[in-house]
Amino acid sequence: MSKEMLNAFAMLEEQNGIKSEIVIEAIEQAITAAYKRQYGQAQNVKVIFDEKKGNFNVYSTREVVDEVFDSRLEISLEAAHELNPHYEIGDKIMFDDKPKDFVRTAAG
């Protein structure tokens, strides 16, 4: 997708005068909205465009807590320590989020 995506952005800008930054922002917002539709929440989701690879990456942020009430938004201190023993309560951890059927849903 990388070269094709970057070429499409360049073509849009050249032929229609639409800056690639505007298209990228619109796609990021659309992916966030699709994530919210599929998973019922998106307050902890961040979509970032990797300009070098030409890919959109979806990240979710979870807060380190003593007791997990919502696993979509929180991670236990014990589980966080498995990732990095330096995490403390209140820290925010960003996860690369690649849900199985998300791409198909987002495309729809």
C-alpha separations of 86 from 56, 78, 90 in Å: 29, 11, 12
pLDDT in tens, 4-56: 888 888 888 889 888 888 988 998 888 888 888 777 766 788 888 888 888 88
Model confidence at 79: pLDDT above 90: yes
Q: At what angle do helices 2-16 and 20-39 cross, to 10 degrees?
A: 130
pTM, to two decimals:
0.69
Contacts of 62 (CB under 8 A, 6+ apart): 44, 72, 73, 74, 75, 92, 93, 95
pLDDT, mean of residues 78-100: 90
- Contact between 78 and 66 under an 8 Å Cβ cutoff? The reply is no
Domains of the chain: 2-106 (3.30.1480.10)
Query: How far apart, in whole angstroms, are the C-alpha atoms of residue 19 and residue 21?
Result: 5
